[in-house]
Amino acid sequence: MDGEDICELNLTDLAKLLAARELSSAEAVGAALTRLERLEGGLNAFITVLREQALARAKKADEEIARGNYRGPLHGVPVTIKDMFETAGVRTTGGSKILADWIPQTDSALVERLHAAGAIIIGKTNLDEFGHGGSSTLSHFGPVHNPWNIDRIAGGSSGGSAAAVATGIGPLSYGTETGSSVRRPASYCGITGFKPTFGIISRHGSFRGAWSQDHVGLFGRWVKDITLGLDPVAGFDGRDPGSVRQEQPTYAAHLDANVKGLRVGVLRRFLEEVNPEVKQAFDASVKVLAGAGCEIIDIDVAELKYAAMTSMMTSSAESAGVNRRWFRARHQDFVPHVSRGLAAGMTITASEYLTVQRARQRIREALARTYEKIDIIAAPTTGRVAPLLSDGLKGNGDDTRHASYNHSNLLRFPSMLGLPGCSVPCGINIEGMPIGMQLIGNWFADQTVLNAAFAYQSTTDWHFRRPALAGR
Amino acid sequence: MNTRDRLAHRLALLEGVGLSPAEIDSVVSEIEDFERIVIELEEFSQDTAWISLQAQPTGKKA
């Protein structure tokens, strides 16, 4: 098996070969680094590449596995992480000029757990500055390009992570999501992205976008890889105030494609402005779920009309608070669009913020009532495919300023409410760009969401499609 | 308070930050959006309970 073939392996298959010592970690890491170096000029997906460190860790992993000390499915596997996570001795920028040369002394909780699982971090991925954006064009280090068409955006803010997985630069990447920063880039880049219930993965040692909405999430080619990557990093961590006490994670062991009787809600009124090709792919995907035995139920949650604006206001106020000191001292060093957003956020008063939280509570209560009648909500992840870079920030078509049945509400409510959500590839449009479907579950119904995604991917092949850029 | 005074009051919260006139115009536009949104959300959430979250000592029970 040559390096190009190794890069085509998903995590599930790669882990088996590493455990059986039919492939070495040094080979897997070397192949991923070679592909990274071949494609990075077109993608700009990475801020820092850890070639020497990764190869040294891979050698150590091979020695451990040879001694019979196999740690599990991430042992020896090349992975990437968004440059939001602190790494001891390795610069951590947040995509910002402000921290362009900052080298932390300690690891984030995510990195601690990845190291404990034996994963090999080969690079830190590009992003919108401190996670403030949905395009991955708002980075001090330049925009991330979409691997399916480098004239298009990868989506953000975790665009570098999504582009890496889509092109086989490691089978797994970890990102963060405050509004839609895992699900959107997963959809735009034709891969699987999962954001668990709020508090499942510790955020300790990662930069804050907005603390009440920030989540750690992950990217893989299919949901089975997601579960293998989720188990080692999920769990309580007292250093994160939002962390929840939970049982030992066993998402991979409980992955089950039998979803007969699962009640799937569809919010049809929010789909009226969705691009026809996206809607067509989504409708076909709902039929696949129905074919798997799911009960499809049309629902209407009118309160969701206010979700995008509530999420945006919460995010604006909290991120202004988080960045207050840096903003006052160095506002000119922020990316201009981010700087303007922080300035506006700093003018939101306490009573206004609390009013927004009251609205958030009303939406939360409405969703809680809805989940008494259904198990998951299915929707297009985004209302359109990845826009052109030349379309600018309006290319995503988001409307976070008006109460309406705009699709943006469906994109924003899961993070605002802390609900688990998974985006799976569900089509390719006429221009060759991927389309995604998201499945959103009740609080702590992460396994239900993963199982539904697994059922879908067990009977479809969209997750096998690769951008031409990833070929030989 | 008229609109001009209200905006001036808000911009005073940014005192010490050297924003250019163009940046100030852009921020003012954002602020006007925010003010409209808060009015809408206030109306929307009128009958909803205010959230009360209070941190409790971990590991202790009454």
What confidence score (pLDDT) does residue B56 get?
62
The answer to whether A226 and A457 are in contact (CB under 8 A) is no
Closest partner CB to A344 (pick from B34, B38, B49) = B34
> For residue A336, what is the nearest residue in chain B, using CA coordinates?
B23
Neighbours of A274 (CB within 10 A): 20
Four-residue CA torsion sign, A136, A138, A144, A150: positive
Sort strands A120-125 and A78-82 into parallel, antiparallel or unpaired.
parallel
ipTM rounded to 2 decimals: 0.93
Q: Where are the alpha helices (DSSP H) in A93-192?
A: 109-116, 159-166, 183-189
In 3D space, the residue among A418, A422, A416, A420 whose CA is nearest the CA of residue A437 turns out to be A422
B22 touches chain A (CB under 8 A): no
A81: which strand partners?
Answer: A124, A174
User: B30 to chain A: which residues are within 8 Å by CB?
Assistant: 340-341, 343-344
What DSSP state is assigned to residue A78? E
> For residue A329, what is the nearest residue in chain B, using CA coordinates?
B17
The answer to whether A37 and A73 are in contact (CB under 8 A) is no
| The token pair that represents A69 in the structure block | 């000390």
A82: which strand partners?
Answer: A125
What DSSP state is assigned to residue A388? B
> For residue A350, what is the nearest residue in chain B, using CA coordinates?
B38
In 3D space, the residue among A359, A358, A263, A264 whose CA is nearest the CA of residue A303 turns out to be A359
What confidence score (pLDDT) does residue B3 get?
83
Q: For chains A and B, what is the number of CB pairs under 8 angstroms?
A: 82
Q: Is A181 a catalytic residue?
A: yes
- Candidates A24, A82, A139, A161; catalytic one: A82
Burial of A345 (0-12, 13-18, 19+ CB in 10 A): buried
* Peptide bond before residue A157 is cis, with ω within 30 degrees of 0: yes
In 3D space, the residue among A219, A186, A213, A217 whose CA is nearest the CA of residue A201 turns out to be A217
What confidence score (pLDDT) does residue A416 get?
97
**Can you tell me the distance from the alpha carbon of A211 to that of A243, in angstroms, rounded to the nearest whole number?**
12
User: Which residue in this structure is represented by tokens 């991923």?
Assistant: A32
Q: Is the pLDDT of residue B58 over 70?
A: no
What confidence score (pLDDT) does residue B60 get?
59
Whether A347 sits inside 8 A of B13 (CB atoms) is yes
What confidence score (pLDDT) does residue A453 get?
98
In 3D space, the residue among A436, A418, A416, A417 whose CA is nearest the CA of residue A426 turns out to be A436
User: B44 to chain A: which residues are within 8 Å by CB?
Assistant: 303, 306, 359, 362, 403
B39 touches chain A (CB under 8 A): no
**pLDDT tens, N- to C-terminus, chain A (472 residues):** 899 999 999 999 999 999 999 999 999 999 999 999 999 999 999 999 999 999 999 999 999 999 999 999 999 999 999 999 999 999 999 999 999 999 999 999 999 999 999 999 999 999 999 999 999 999 999 999 999 999 999 999 999 999 999 999 999 999 999 999 999 999 999 999 999 999 999 999 999 889 999 999 999 999 999 999 999 999 999 999 999 999 999 999 999 999 999 999 999 999 999 999 999 999 999 999 999 999 999 999 999 999 999 999 999 999 999 999 999 999 999 999 999 999 999 999 999 999 999 999 999 999 999 999 999 999 999 999 999 999 999 999 999 999 999 999 999 999 999 999 999 999 999 999 999 999 999 999 999 999 999 999 999 999 999 999 887 6
User: A365 to chain B: which residues are within 8 Å by CB?
Assistant: 48
Whether B23 sits inside 8 A of A362 (CB atoms) is no
- Candidates A25, A136, A181, A243; catalytic one: A181
What confidence score (pLDDT) does residue B53 get?
67
Residues of A at the B interface, defined by Cβ within 8 angstroms? 238, 303, 306, 309-310, 313, 316, 327-328, 331-332, 336, 339-341, 343-344, 346-348, 352, 354-359, 361-362, 365, 401, 403
Q: Is A279 a catalytic residue?
A: no
What distance in Å separates residue A310's CA from the closest CA in chain B? Answer: 8
Measured CA to CA in angstroms, residue A241 lies from A225, A245, A249, A325, B55 at distances of 28, 11, 19, 21, 10
Whether A362 sits inside 8 A of B10 (CB atoms) is no
Four-residue CA torsion sign, A131, A137, A141, A146: positive
In this prediction, residue B54 has a pLDDT band, given cuts at 50, 70 and 90, of low
User: B34 to chain A: which residues are within 8 Å by CB?
Assistant: 313, 316, 344, 347-348, 352
| The token pair that represents A466 in the structure block | 């690769």
The residues, any chain, with a CB within 8 Å of residue A472's CB and separated by 6 or more, are A4
Torsion of CA B24, B25, B28, B33, to 10 degrees: -140
Q: Which helix (H) or strand (E) holds A463?
A: none
The answer to whether A452 and A264 are in contact (CB under 8 A) is yes
B30 touches chain A (CB under 8 A): yes
In 3D space, the residue among A374, A182, A412, A385 whose CA is nearest the CA of residue A282 turns out to be A385
